[in-house]
Structure 1
Amino acid sequence: MDSWEKDGFILSTDKQYLDTDVIHHFLSVDSYWAKGITMEKVKKSVEKSSICFGMYEGDPSKGKAKQIGFVRAVTDFVRFAWIMDVFVLPEYRGRGLSKWMMETMVGQSELKDVRKMMLCTYDAHGLYEQYGFQTLDDPEIFMQRKI
C-alpha cells in the first residue's frame, strides 16, 4: 500500500482505512452520478475496485483521521484504467486537494504507467484536463450497455 503526505493530509491506497459511511453518504446524497446508491453497492464497488485512494485529514495509520476525499479505479495496471467516484468533501474544497489527489494518482501511484485512463464528468473538465485527460479521439468506436 502506498501513501503520500501534504500539509497534514494523507492520501493512501490502503483500503482498510476507507470510511464507507463517508463514501456512501457523499455518493448517495451529494453526487449526481450515484445518487441513491445503497451501502451494499458502495461496499461491493470498493471491494471489487483494483485500487482506491482515500484522502484523510490526519494519519489513518494512527487511528486519528477523518476521510475527506476518495477516488477509485478499475484497471489492469498496464493498458487501461477507468477512474470513478472522484470527490473531496465540500468543506475541504478550494485548497488544491483535488489537484493533489489527481496529480498523485496519475503521476506517482501504480497507475502512472497505464496507457489509457478514462473517466466521465459533467462539470470538472478543467480539473481533469490539467492531468492529460481530453475528450475522446474517436467517440464513434465506443459503445456502452446500460441496465
Structure 2
Amino acid sequence: MLKDLTNEELVRLNIDAKNWQEAIRKSADALLQNGKITHAYIDAIIKAVQETGPYIVITKYVALPHARPEAGAIESAIGIATLKDPVAFGNKENDPVKYLFCLSAADNNSHLNALAELMDLLERKDFYELLDCAEKPSEIIDFIKNL
C-alpha cells in the first residue's frame, strides 16, 4: 500500500530546481538520504530520460522518476516532491512538471498496489490542492493514511 512506501522523511516541499535533471536529483535525494536508493539509481533515472525521452512524465504536471531495481534500488519506497516553480521535461502534452513521485522499486512487483493507489490519488483535485498548499510533510502523509 502507498502508506507503507512513503513517510514524512520522504517528502520534500517547494524545491528550487533550474531544470528537469536538478528536479530529479533533488526529489530523489529524500530516498538517497533515507537509504532507499544509491547515487547510481539517480544517475540511471537521468540517463534513461536522456536516452529515451521524458517517458516519466505520466500526466499533466506529474513525473514518476524511477529506474530498474538493479540500478541501485535498496528498498521499495515512494518520495513525494513539489517544485517551487514548474520545470519542462520535454513532454509537450504534460509539461511543465510541478509534482514528482520518485519511485524506488526493489523488485518488479511489490510496489504495484502502491502505484495503483497513487494513480487514484492523481485523479483527485483535492490531492493537488493539498500538494500546492501543504506547509509540512505530515499534512500529505496524514492525507494518504486517511484514504
- TM-score, normalised to structure 2, is 0.32
- Structure number with the bigger relative contact order (C-alpha 8 A, sep ≥ 6) is 2
Larger Rg: 1
TM-score (norm 1): 0.32
More helix by share: 2
Q: Which has the higher strand share?
A: 1
